[in-house]
Structure 1
């Protein structure tokens, strides 16, 4: 009898652990961490939609990526510095697309489908990176400005 009770308690503990590992109380996409050559970059969250087990949330930034970071200080970077992008504490995204925008003329310059090897532009200027990520639970847009010297 004690053996069945012990096995039952282990099964319940595993089920509870699995339940909380699914992060049922999350109502926003995971935080995004960006570094340029090991220096952390301030990232701004834009529009997102998320459906958790107990609660969902939708937020509309009502701004394009360049306008979302307008007036905020840019992170300085050297030509060809390497970007590292990582989502913290949450499920891994199903897909990620990164768009490089020119601040000067608000034009899309390049879209990256693979986030493993991204370097900043070699031409000096002000740029904004927009990260669009999709999860099973929803999606989110993030942006950060850089100033290549």
Structure 2
């Protein structure tokens, strides 16, 4: 008894699906580590902020892949960053892709000075004129990135 053509086609399709479906090529083609866009908004204009060190983790089957980088500190990075001009007491909105948890820190030439209160993803710059270095630590489920920007209060 000869199997039908329809039955043979089903066997061929199922066999091909099993062969290609079981290959050990990663199904996860997403960029790793991901590159998240980040900016601050001042008076309706966006200014990109400098990416510093980061850490990302992802599971691949039974393995865990981790990428960690070391980078210059925010006060060292500030030496080559163009300051963003702001007015005394002005609000600056932090905009980072995929809505991470944000923590903002004020830095001085010696190091991290203090954490800055963040409300609705905005900080308020000081009333006193001067140059201020900010680190924005963005945390997602699988990683974190440190960003730096410099504000020049006029």
For the criterion TM > 0.5, the same-fold answer is yes
- Relative to the length of structure 2, the TM-score reads 0.67
Aligned residue number for residue 126 of structure 2: 121
1:112 Cα deviation after fit:
2.4
Distance of aligned partners of 1:53 and 1:34 in 2 relative to their CA distance in 1, 3 Å threshold: farther
1:72 Cα deviation after fit:
2.5
1:92 and 2:99 equivalent? yes
- Relative to the length of structure 1, the TM-score reads 0.69
After the TM superposition, which residues 1-149 of structure 1 pair with which residues of structure 2 at under 5 Å, given as runs? Answer: 24-52=30-58, 57-61=67-71, 63-88=72-97, 91-93=98-100, 95-102=101-108, 106=111, 108-149=113-154
1:115 Cα deviation after fit:
4.8
**Contact 1:34-1:41 at 8 Å conserved across structures:** yes
**Contact 1:37-1:81 at 8 Å conserved across structures:** no
- Count of matched residue positions in the alignment of Structure 1 and Structure 2: 124
Q: Which blocks of at least 5 consecutive residues in structure 1 are unaligned?
A: 1-19
The CA distance in 1 between the partners of 2:96 and 2:108, in whole Å, is 24
1:140 Cα deviation after fit:
1.0
Q: Which blocks of at least 5 consecutive residues in structure 2 are unaligned?
A: 1-26
1:28 Cα deviation after fit:
3.0
**Contact 1:102-1:126 at 8 Å conserved across structures:** no
The CA distance in 2 between the partners of 1:98 and 1:68, in whole Å, is 16
Superposed structure 1 runs of 4+ greater than 4 Å apart: 52-56
